[in-house]
Every structure is written in structure tokens, then in C-alpha cells.
Amino acid sequence: MTRSSRGKKSKRANSDSQPGPETGTGDAAAEQVPTGESADAGAEASPAPSADQDAAAQTDDGRQDVPQEADPLEAMRAERDAFQEKWLRAVAEMDNLRKRTRRELVDSRRHAQADILRPILGVMDNFERALQSLHENRENGDLEKFLEGVDMIFQNFQGVLRDLGVVPMEAMDQEFDPVFHEAVGQLPREGVEPGKVIEIVQSGFMFQDQVLRPARVIISA
């Protein structure tokens, strides 16, 4: 081999062994850029913080309050207390209503009785005048005026009862009815069918549509 060929080979070998600017730059870039496996491993080693951790970190710093979940037991107790309070209030209102209704009923009865008794007081005044007149005229023996006065008082009293809705019951010669009549005796009577009212011992009265007092009667046998 000639010297010229040897020199060319040695120069070529030297040029191959010396790194060029492009080769060195590529190796440095390869060392700086991580491969896919190393990037994945790094991602798995340091996971991203979650939303709860961020909220907890903010709470620790005092910058934001995290709402806490309500205790179910405390909620049930609060609901129980609310219902108990409503129940106690309803019981108190019902008790007040009951007392007020009872008081109003008593007052209503009292007013009704007063309305009934007030007209009767006038009848009592007339009786008082009649008795006073009897004592004053006893020596004269004039009883006719006294009887007239008593008859007027009786008619006045009947008028008061009529105004109150109390009317005498028609019982004479009527068929015996246990709803309206009370039999106190039984006598045979010629020409009268059995079960007829032949005598009135005590008059009966009707108040509007109800029996105020049944008539006490004697019926035929």
C-alpha cells in the first residue's frame, strides 16, 4: 500500500473518531429529554392533588371554610322538639277552647233562664196585689172582686207561657197515647170505648214540638 492511501485512511479515521457539532448536540438533547417510560414513572410517583386536598389545604390556611355534613341524629332531635312544641301548643289551645265553650254555654243558659223568669215576675206581682187586697177587704166579706183578680192573674200567666212557646195539651176524649199521656187510673164508663181519656188529673203542656210535661189522666176500662 502506498503512503498516499495510508494517509487518506488515517485522516478518515480521525474524522470519524472526533465528534462533530451535530453528534454532540444530539446526545445532549437525548440525555435532557426523558423517554416515555421515565415520564410515566414520574407521573405515577407524584400524583396531582385532589379537590378535597385542595379544600383541606385552604382550610388549614384559614382562607376558606369547608361546610360540614349535618348530623342525622341532631336533625331528628330538632324535628322531634319542633313537633313536641307544636303538640303542646295545640293541646293548650284546645284546653282554652274547651273552657271558653263551657263558659259561653253556661252564660247562654243563664241568659235564657233570665228571659223566661223575667215575665213571670209580673205574674208574681199581680198575686201579691191580690193577696194584699184580700187582707184589706176581709172584713167586708167581698170575695167576688178577689176571685175576679185571681182569674185575671191566671189569664195573664197563661199569656206569659204562650209567649214563651208553652201551650196546654188537648187530652180530654183523646185516645190514650203513652207519649203524651200518663195513666194514673182506669174506670169503666158507659158508652165510652176502652182506652179513652175520661178525666184529666193534671194538665199537660207542649213546648214547641216536644212534650214539656205529659198529661196525667184517667182512662176508660
Residue 115 has pLDDT above 60, yes or no: yes
Is 138 found in the same domain as 125? yes
Is 153 found in the same domain as 99? yes
The DSSP-derived string for 71-124 is: PHHHHHHHHHHHHHHHHHHHHHHHHHHHHHHHHHHHHHHHHHHHHHHHHHHHHH
> For 137-152, what is each residue's pLDDT tens digit?
766 666 777 788 888 8
Range of the domain at 180: 167-221
Cα–Cα distance, 27 to 168 (Å, whole number) = 137
Burial class from Cβ neighbours inside 10 Å (0-12, 13-18, 19+) for residue 198 reads middle
Closest-CA residue to 218 (of 182, 180, 170, 178): 182
Residue 7 pairs in a beta bridge with: none
Q: Does some domain include residue 183?
A: yes
Out of 164, 180, 195, pick the residue that ends a domain: 164
Q: Does some domain include residue 7?
A: no
Q: Does some domain include residue 90?
A: yes
Say what the pTM is: 0.51
Task: Provide the percentage of residues in the chain whose pLDDT is more than 90.
Answer: 34
Is 77 found in the same domain as 149? yes
Q: Does some domain include residue 210?
A: yes
Total number of domains in the chain: 2
pLDDT at 53: 53
Which residue has better confidence, 126 or 32? 126
Which band of pLDDT confidence, cut at 50, 70 and 90, is reported for residue 54?
low
